[in-house]
Amino acid sequence: MALAQDLITPAAPASGIVPEKVRDGIDLEINGEHYRHTGDPQMPLLWFLRDVLRLTGTKYAGETGADLVLLNDKAVSAITLPMAKLADKSVTTVEGLAANDGGLHPVQQAFIDEDAIGCGYCTPGWLIAAVDLLKRKPHPGDDDLDQLPNLCRCGCQTRVRRAIKRAAAGKADQV
Ligand code: FES
């Protein structure tokens, strides 16, 4: 009889063990595709992008802005953003800027045209920041460019600024 009672009412877990409820998952969209994250809700988005999805364009380098992604069209740091805050949100990484047919985004083309890429480590962050800026300010001035949270350790800032202005002027397809 005592054995049957044990089956109905399981013993409490040993002290110090806290049972965790099964996670339902966090649904979000990345570059137009639907994903469900069922791991740790505190995992930074950058880890999910790089280690789970193998989207390695976004980098671990906050001081250069290379960790920027678009969250609902606004540039944010993927390092500081936990997956828990991304339910039903839409994220665009540098891999998602080009058109479905492979055509480059005008800002990407402008970076090529202005030779604004050195080693390339910071470039994804600049592209994301520029897309965000041009949405908010189609014709940014030098003050607006000064506010961007990006840094190029290869010293490409001058060419980057020219590229963003070129994209703003709609001259990305001109040589
Ligand atoms: Fe090398 Fe910017 S191109 S850090």
pTM value? 0.84
Q: How far is the C-alpha of 127 from the C-alpha of 82, rounded, in Å?
A: 22
How remote is the CA of residue 54 from the centroid of ligand 1, in Å?
Answer: 21
- Positive/negative CA dihedral, 90, 104, 75, 63: positive
Query: Which CATH code, of 3.40.50.740, 3.30.200.20, 3.40.50.300, 3.10.20.30, is assigned to 26-94+103-168?
Result: 3.10.20.30
Q: Which residues in the chain show pLDDT less than 70?
A: 1-7, 10, 13, 20-23, 62, 171-175
| Residue keyed to tokens 């890429």 | 117
Give the closest residue (by CA) to ligand 1 atom 2.
Answer: 152
Q: DSSP character for 29? A: E
pLDDT score for 174: 46
pLDDT in tens, 20-39: 666 689 999 999 999 999 99
Q: How far is the C-alpha of 57 from the C-alpha of 60, rounded, in Å?
A: 10
pLDDT score for 6: 57
pLDDT score for 4: 60
- Positive/negative CA dihedral, 97, 99, 101, 103: negative
**CB 154 near ligand 1, within 6 Å:** yes
Q: How far is the C-alpha of 122 from the C-alpha of 152, rounded, in Å?
A: 6
